[in-house]
Structure 1
Amino acid sequence: MSAGIELVVLDLAGTTVRDDGAVEAAFAEALETAGVPADSPERAEVDAYVRDTMGQSKIEVFRALFAEDDVAEQANLAFEKAFAAHAIEAAEPLPGAAEAIDKLQAQGRKVCLSTGFSAETRDALLARLGWTEVADLVMCPSDAGRGRPFPDLVLTAVLRLGISDVRAVAVAGDTGFDMLTGRRAGASVVAGVLTGAHNEAVLRAHGATHVLGSVAELPALLDPR
């Protein structure tokens, strides 16, 4: 089916954009703000949950952790501010990522960039990279209704870009939730990459059809010629 792929949905941090631990660092600051300091008894369990849910909509992670919605909102705001302060200015594409996007489009495929960040953080990140026009579509949870692991981001991209069949979609990301999203959306190619949060075992456990060293390998996977 890879030859018939019309749309490729690519994650941002850890997949096409270098992370270098910026997301986890921003989560650490957010947890401090929400009253879960590094030396608190529950911090190890909370940190484990954050790692396990990498790729999910950030506000949904905080809503799962904190029963009070105002605390979740406060933590989410702290996360966005911390990520903007420490990561966006240093953001750069992962090696081969920009070239991969060019190759995928040259193959005649649409490219959608997706993320669990807020629209404001997404837009600041893309502006820093000079990627505001690089993709056919850019999506975050507020654009689609629900973030990962729900299929909304992928399915909304299918509708907006006029894709003929969900099976004509490839999804690539660095987290288990990216894989689960692709599976739930019906994508025929769900490719995990080893440049981000999760290892091959986690990616395959969540449904990866392929595991690649990086997104730079994706164009050749979809078009072996």
Structure 2
Amino acid sequence: MTTDIRLVVLDMAGTTVADDGLVERAFRAAADELGVEAGDAEHQRMLEHVRATMGESKISVFRHLFGAEDRAQRANLAFESAYHDLVDAGHCSALPGAAEAIEQLRSAGRKVVLTTGFSRATQDRILKALGWEEIADLTLCPAEAGRGRPYPDMVLTALLRTQTDSVRRIAVAGDTGYDMLTGTRAGASVVAGVLTGAHREERLRADGATHVLASVAELPALLDG
């Protein structure tokens, strides 16, 4: 497609890392901590919101769901604790072809930045579990960029930190509509949705995907094509 892309910003859970329901399982622990019983109408409403906002900063999701800051922080701590337990128990794996795709992108002279809606503590837990501490040029979480998705902050922070000279030389890839919004709002030339995670092609295209791929494994060929 183009050899002009110099920076590739990749989402983690659902794009390069298998989710396998871990976010929803950890959310149930957070809801339980706040006294929301599984199976009732309120729990289902909250779960639907979590699914719709996959990719957004998790603390932002909990602020929407629980209102008061102290309740949102309690929910977020419970979520992170449950997610960490799942990762530590071995329920964390790379999606097929993801590591190889990152290697191909970097071998072609492109910078690769991994981004997430999780906190730095959770992001680091995942990277350590996968042995990915050095796999990318940079990793970013919302707190390190200003705002999380769907704002463009993480992509633009990646541009600044890697000294990329134009937003038109950026490709963004992710599995959620929020990833697509982030990419389009940042001015990226390529905003690629992948079908290995939360949202389907209709949502990805509605939120600005320039391309929809079966998986991130197809991204190097798209950029080199």
Q: What TM-score bracket applies, with the shorter chain setting the length? A: over 0.9
CA RMSD of superposed structures (Å): 1.1
Kept after mapping to 1: 8 A contact 2:86/2:92: no
How far the C-alpha of 1:44 sits from its partner, in A, is 2.1
- Deviating runs (4+, > 2 A) in structure 1? 87-90
1:144 aligned partner, one-letter code: A
Unaligned runs of 5+ in 2: none
How far the C-alpha of 1:2 sits from its partner, in A, is 3.2
| Segment drifting more, 89-98 vs 53-62 | 89-98
The 5 A counterparts of 1:75-86 are 75-86=75-86
Query: Which whole-Å deviations, capped at 9, do the CAs of 1:126-178 have from their partners, x for residues lacking one?
Result: 01111111100000011101111111000000001000101110000011101
| Segment drifting more, 35-44 vs 88-97 | 35-44
Whether 2:198 is the aligned partner of 1:193: answer no
Query: Which whole-Å deviations, capped at 9, do the CAs of 1:90-123 have from their partners, x for residues lacking one?
Result: 3121100000001001111000000011101111
Whether 2:223 is the aligned partner of 1:222: answer yes
Kept after mapping to 1: 8 A contact 2:26/2:82: yes
Kept after mapping to 2: 8 A contact 1:2/1:188: no
Distance 1:74 1:207 in 2: 34
| Segment drifting more, 34-43 vs 175-184 | 34-43
| Segment drifting more, 124-133 vs 28-37 | 28-37
1:211 alignment partner, SS class: strand
1:67 counterpart residue number:
67
2:35 aligned partner, one-letter code: G
Unaligned runs of 5+ in 1: none
The 5 A counterparts of 1:4-83 are 4-83=4-83
1:65 aligned partner, one-letter code: L
The 5 A counterparts of 1:72-151 are 72-88=72-88, 89-151=90-152
Query: Which whole-Å deviations, capped at 9, do the CAs of 1:45-67 have from their partners, x for residues lacking one?
Result: 21111111000000000001111
2:135 aligned partner, one-letter code: V
How far the C-alpha of 1:41 sits from its partner, in A, is 2.7
| Segment drifting more, 135-144 vs 81-90 | 81-90
1:186 aligned partner, one-letter code: G
Distance 2:44 2:15 in 1: 26
Distance 2:46 2:18 in 1: 24
Distance 2:68 2:174 in 1: 31
2:164 alignment partner, SS class: coil
Q: If the length of structure 2 is used for normalisation, what is the TM-score?
A: 0.97
Identity %: 62
Kept after mapping to 1: 8 A contact 2:87/2:129: no
